[in-house]
């Protein structure tokens, strides 16, 4: 165990890191190749433990060379920003180091998670709902598919799933890959996930969904699971839940809303119309570690009907853990995990701190900043939108004047910008077109931060222009 006198210098390092992270000139990353990093950090484990001085040096190096995701120029992934009350929740979660299977070992945390699930279900319109915190949106999507399979074939809980059942699932053609992974894990098979055509904005076409379901029935298959994506990864598109629900209700198919990226939009009175019909879904995955800026991992799966998650688990006979002696549900009975982190506390701390109104303003600000970014692109002679903005994601590219290959040029621009440490942004492909994807996910972003990003893009682009001409 570390000596107590090390606590003060470690706390000082945390304070300095937080202060530095607010500086406009701080690099998002001090980029080094893997080989170069090994010259600065010895990654091997020694036979004998290191001393206190070397331990403190390792902390400095980790912070120096790690990506600063709290920096407002970290625009690369679907999460970013630093949330101070949630950070404190994370610290105290690790400090107390409990698990979430029983009230006996986690009385306060169990009460907190129960309240967070109740509140989140109320936003989804799940009046008789329930849910669980779990280890990410991919896991949430898998448990939703697991639940749908068990409803379709209840005996599969005990007897297993037969390939002869020919279950089929249906998703937006740009849906997250976790749906295919879930089908693989559950023994259904990734080829049984049918990708449905989308319109020019990236939203699933309801008529195409109905056609694919009919074709599946005609092939002698059993359609059992449909996914409405609430913000696709690249375009930020929201599928039309209401229209999809009309189809799934007609055929008795489970409808799941994958809101791992954009589910937090439900907090906004102004913009939640993009999720109209959410109350008609059977389940809803929601990642507060994205748009709510909670430290990773903070994910939930909500289900419309109480008892669904418990039915997923084969009969539990484990009186060495579950004693049924407290007047509250032991959450482990509805989780496929036994040991489970206390991820609800950091969300609770943040929601308590900002309040209902405060979080609504943070989500509204994300859309405001996305609209401002779109305005900058449309008013620039050097930039163009590759697709229409749907929500928090903007797909655009730089237009070099000298006839260079657009895909190669924009890839070089992105790489040079990333390695400079000034801004980090991602890219993807729409058909054969490479697009830079900007995602606005930090609730504290301002117009100054957005403008700084585009100034950095234009600076790098013009530099590449000069070299290419």
Query: Is there a domain that residue 352 lies in?
Result: no
pLDDT at residue 1 greater than cutoff 60: no
If asked whether residues 139 and 287 sit together in one domain, one would say yes
Task: Of 393, 395, 124, give the one whose Cα is nearest residue 262.
Answer: 393
pLDDT at residue 64 greater than cutoff 60: yes
Within 337-446, where are the H helices? Answer: 344-378, 406-420
pLDDT at residue 354 greater than cutoff 60: yes
If asked whether residues 224 and 115 sit together in one domain, one would say yes
Helix, strand, coil tally for the chain in percent (to 5) = 45, 15, 40
| pLDDT (0 to 100) of residue 80 | 92
Residues 102, 321 contacting (CB under 8 angstroms): yes
pLDDT at residue 35 greater than cutoff 70: yes
| pLDDT (0 to 100) of residue 394 | 97
∠75-65-139 over CA atoms, to 5°?
55
Tens of pLDDT along 427-469?
999 999 999 999 999 999 999 999 999 999 999 999 997 776 4
Report residue 6's pLDDT band, with 50, 70 and 90 as the boundaries. confident
Neighbours of 221 (CB within 10 A): 16
If asked whether residues 158 and 222 sit together in one domain, one would say yes
Going by DSSP bridges, is the β-strand pair 222-229/167-172 parallel, antiparallel, or unpaired? parallel
Tens of pLDDT along 164-205?
889 999 999 999 999 999 999 999 999 999 999 999 999 999
Stretch 390-395: mean pLDDT, rounded?
A: 96
Query: Is there a domain that residue 6 lies in?
Result: no
CATH of the domain at 162: 3.40.640.10
User: Which residues have a Cβ under 8 Å from the Cβ of 131 and sit 6 or more positions away?
Assistant: 117, 120, 121, 300, 301, 302, 303, 309
Stretch 279-299: mean pLDDT, rounded?
A: 97
Name the domain boundary from 317, 341, 365: 341
If asked whether residues 268 and 365 sit together in one domain, one would say no
Report residue 314's pLDDT band, with 50, 70 and 90 as the boundaries. low
What phi, psi does 205 have (nearest 5°)? -90, 115
Query: Is there a domain that residue 349 lies in?
Result: no
Going by DSSP bridges, is the β-strand pair 433-439/130-134 parallel, antiparallel, or unpaired? unpaired
Task: Of 63, 76, 53, 75, give the one whose Cα is nearest residue 19.
Answer: 63
pLDDT at residue 361 greater than cutoff 70: yes
If asked whether residues 168 and 233 sit together in one domain, one would say yes
pLDDT at residue 328 greater than cutoff 80: no
Stretch 346-375: mean pLDDT, rounded?
A: 97
pLDDT at residue 316 greater than cutoff 70: no
Q: Please name the helix (run of DSSP H) or strand (run of DSSP E) that holds residue 169, with its range, or none.
A: strand 167-172
Relative orientation angle of helices 206-218 and 241-251, to the nearest 10 degrees: 20
Query: Is there a domain that residue 348 lies in?
Result: no
Going by DSSP bridges, is the β-strand pair 393-398/433-439 parallel, antiparallel, or unpaired? antiparallel
| pLDDT (0 to 100) of residue 323 | 66
Tens of pLDDT along 147-172?
999 999 999 888 888 878 899 999 99
| pLDDT (0 to 100) of residue 338 | 86
**Mean pLDDT, the chain, as a whole number?**
93
Query: Is there a domain that residue 161 lies in?
Result: yes
If asked whether residues 57 and 171 sit together in one domain, one would say no
| pLDDT (0 to 100) of residue 90 | 96
Q: What percent of the chain has pLDDT over 70?
A: 96
- pTM for the model: 0.94
Task: Of 237, 212, 238, give the one whose Cα is nearest residue 225.
Answer: 212
Terminal C-alpha separation, the chain: 60
Query: Is there a domain that residue 418 lies in?
Result: yes
User: What's the total number of domains in the chain?
Assistant: 2
| pLDDT (0 to 100) of residue 378 | 97
Owning domain of residue 153: 99-341
Residues 236, 259 contacting (CB under 8 angstroms): no
| pLDDT (0 to 100) of residue 115 | 97
Q: What percent of the chain has pLDDT over 90?
A: 81
If asked whether residues 272 and 367 sit together in one domain, one would say no
Task: Of 298, 233, 241, give the one whose Cα is nearest residue 266.
Answer: 241
CA distances from residue 17 to 22, 23, 52, 67, 230 in whole angstroms, order as listed:
9, 10, 20, 12, 34
Query: Is there a domain that residue 217 lies in?
Result: yes
User: Which residues have a Cβ under 8 Å from the Cβ of 206 and sit 6 or more positions away?
Assistant: 240, 243, 244, 246, 247
Name the domain boundary from 341, 369, 395: 341
Task: Of 224, 329, 336, give the one whose Cα is nearest residue 283.
Answer: 224
Tens of pLDDT along 118-143?
999 999 999 999 999 999 999 999 99
If asked whether residues 308 and 436 sit together in one domain, one would say no
If asked whether residues 149 and 290 sit together in one domain, one would say yes
Tens of pLDDT along 218-262?
999 999 999 999 999 999 999 999 999 999 999 999 999 999 999
CATH of the domain at 24: 3.90.1150.170
If asked whether residues 111 and 193 sit together in one domain, one would say yes
If asked whether residues 315 and 378 sit together in one domain, one would say no
* Rounded Cα gap, residues 421 and 131, in angstroms: 40
Instruction: State the number of CA atoms in the 13 A half-sphere of 264 facing the CB.
Output: 31
Characterize 286-307 residue by residue with b for buried, 16 or more Cβ atoms within 10 angstroms of its Cβ, and e for exposed. Answer: bbbbbbbbbbebbbbbbbbeee
Query: Is there a domain that residue 437 lies in?
Result: yes
If asked whether residues 320 and 372 sit together in one domain, one would say no
| pLDDT (0 to 100) of residue 261 | 96
* Rounded Cα gap, residues 433 and 409, in angstroms: 12
Paired strand residues for 385: 396
């Amino acid at each position: 165990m570390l000596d107590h006198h090390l606590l003060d210098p470690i706390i000082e390092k945390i304070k300095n890191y937080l202060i530095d992270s607010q500086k406009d000139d701080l690099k998002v990353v001090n980029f080094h190749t893997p080989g170069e990093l090994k010259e600065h950090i010895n990654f091997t484990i020694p036979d004998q433990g290191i001393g206190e001085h070397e331990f403190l040096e390792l902390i400095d190096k980790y912070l120096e060379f790690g990506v600063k995701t709290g920096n407002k120029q970290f625009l690369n992934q679907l999460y970013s920003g630093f949330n101070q009350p949630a950070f404190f929740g994370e610290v105290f979660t690790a400090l107390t180091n409990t698990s979430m299977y029983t009230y006996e070992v986690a009385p306060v945390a169990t009460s907190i998670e129960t309240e967070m699930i109740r509140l989140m279900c109320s936003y989804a319109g799940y009046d008789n709902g329930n849910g669980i915190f779990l280890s990410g949106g991919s896991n949430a999507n898998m448990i939703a598919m697991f639940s749908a399979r068990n409803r379709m074939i209840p005996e599969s809980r005990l007897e297993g799933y037969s390939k002869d059942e020919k279950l089929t699932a249906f998703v937006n053609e740009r849906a997250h890959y976790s749906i295919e992974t879930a089908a693989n894990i559950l023994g259904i098979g990734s080829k049984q996930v049918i990708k449905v055509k989308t319109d020019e904005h990236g939203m699933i076409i309801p008529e195409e969904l109905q056609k694919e379901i009919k074709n599946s029935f005609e092939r002698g298959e059993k359609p059992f699971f449909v996914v409405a994506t609430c913000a696709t990864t690249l375009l930020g598109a929201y599928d039309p839940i209401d229209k999809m629900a009309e189809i799934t209700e007609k055929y008795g198919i489970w409808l799941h809303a994958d809101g791992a990226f954009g589910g937090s939009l439900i907090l906004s009175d102004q913009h939640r119309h993009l999720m109209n019909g959410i109350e008609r879904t059977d389940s809803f995955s929601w990642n507060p570690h994205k748009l709510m800026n909670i430290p990773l991992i903070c994910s939930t799966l909500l289900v419309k009907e109480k008892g669904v998650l418990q039915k997923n688990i084969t009969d539990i006979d484990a009186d060495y853990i579950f004693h049924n002696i407290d007047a509250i549900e032991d959450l482990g009975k509805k989780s496929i995990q036994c040991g489970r982190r206390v991820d609800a506390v950091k969300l609770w701390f943040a929601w308590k701190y900002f309040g209902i109104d405060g979080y609504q303003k943070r989500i509204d600000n994300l859309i405001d900043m996305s609209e401002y970014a779109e305005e900058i692109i449309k008013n620039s002679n050097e930039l163009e939108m590759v697709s229409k903005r749907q929500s928090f994601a903007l797909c655009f590219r730089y237009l070099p004047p000298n006839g260079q290959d657009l895909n190669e040029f924009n890839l070089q621009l992105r790489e040079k910008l990333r390695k400079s440490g000034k801004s980090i942004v991602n890219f993807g492909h729409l058909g054969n077109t490479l697009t830079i994807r900007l995602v606005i996910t930090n609730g504290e972003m301002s117009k100054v931060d957005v403008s700084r990003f585009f100034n950095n893009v234009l600076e790098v682009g013009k530099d590449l222009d000069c070299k290419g001409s």
